[in-house]
Amino acid sequence: MNAFAPRPLRVLLAKLGMDTHTVGVTVIAHALREAGMEVIFAGLKQTPEMVANAAIQEDVDVVGISTLSAGHTRTLPRLAALLREMGAGDKLLLAGGVIPEEDVPFLTAAGVQKIFTMGSDTRDIVAYLQAWWSEKLASETAP
Ligand code: B12
């Protein structure tokens, strides 16, 4: 890597609770890796505490949760709160999967910055992350 090039975006992907739908998270992991991002998969059956700890230990920029079996209105706000409490509120918290539209305002108010529901185009997800990362790098290097 060019010493002057920005470091790649680091993303932690995980699934919370008993949700064992793995296709979406696998598709996202491949798409982000193909776009040059570093992707770590924390695995299935994680708790919000496990994910928050892994996010800090792995020093990721983004935490992405894939959720298809409900429970997201309980687990995602808990994860957002833990990240804030642990001083990691600057990490981007994303979620995707089967999330009813009516839950979106509640989740965004609780600290999930962006939600990509069923049928989202992976190119839109990559573009969103690239734009967020460029903005973050620009704000970090601004005089
Ligand atoms: C395949 C499937 C299964 C397979 C899973 C196999 C596997 N290893 O993944 C099997 C048969 C095992 C299964 C089991 C069950 N399933 Co199922 N399953 C599905 C199905 C048909 C497709 C899911 C899928 O793979 N989609 C393809 C991927 C590519 O799409 P995706 O995951 O949505 O991901 C996209 C976006 O959501 C987004 N995204 C997803 N994750 C992330 C993460 C991030 C960070 C980002 C940015 C974006 C993102 O980007 C992706 C690309 O567009 C859905 C119906 C559906 N149409 O979604 C039901 C569905 C999810 N299942 C459902 C249910 C109820 C179950 C069971 C409870 C059934 C049962 N009674 O046993 C169990 C639960 C098992 C468990 N413990 O979790 C319900 C969930 C209902 C709900 N949430 O309210 C659904 C919606 C079916 C329905 N209409 O009722 N299932």
Q: How many CB atoms lie within 10 A of CB 17?
A: 17
Atom of ligand 1 nearest to the CA of 13: 45
Can you give the pLDDT at residue 43?
Answer: 95
| 98 C-alpha to ligand 1 centroid (Å) | 7
Enumerate residues lining ligand 1, CB below 6 A: 13, 18-25, 27-28, 64, 66, 68-70, 94, 96-98, 116-120, 122, 125
Nearest CA to ligand 1 atom 15: 21
Q: Considering only CA atoms, which residue is closest to atom 91 of ligand 1?
A: 21
Domain ranges in the chain? 10-141
pLDDT, mean of each 10-residue run, the chain (143 residues)? 74 97 98 98 97 98 97 97 98 98 98 97 98 92 75
Model pLDDT, residue 100: 97
pTM to 2 decimal places: 0.96
The string over 39-66, giving b where at least 16 C-beta atoms fall within 10 Å of a residue's C-beta and e elsewhere, is: bbbbebebebeebbbbbbeeebbbbbbb
Q: Whose CA is nearest to atom 70 of ligand 1?
A: 69
The residue nearest atom 1 of ligand 1, judged by CA position, is 21
Q: Which of 21, 23, 33, 40 to mutate to test ligand 1, by most ligand atoms within 8 A of the CB atom?
A: 21
Task: Assign domain 10-141 to its CATH architecture.
Answer: 3-Layer(aba) Sandwich (3.40)
pLDDT for residue 4: 59
Atom of ligand 1 nearest to the CA of 97: 37
Distance CA 25, CA 22 (A): 6
Contacts within 8 Å (CB) and 24+ apart, 47-50: 47/16, 47/17, 48/16, 48/75, 48/78, 48/79, 48/82, 49/82, 50/14
**What pLDDT is attached to residue 143?**
72
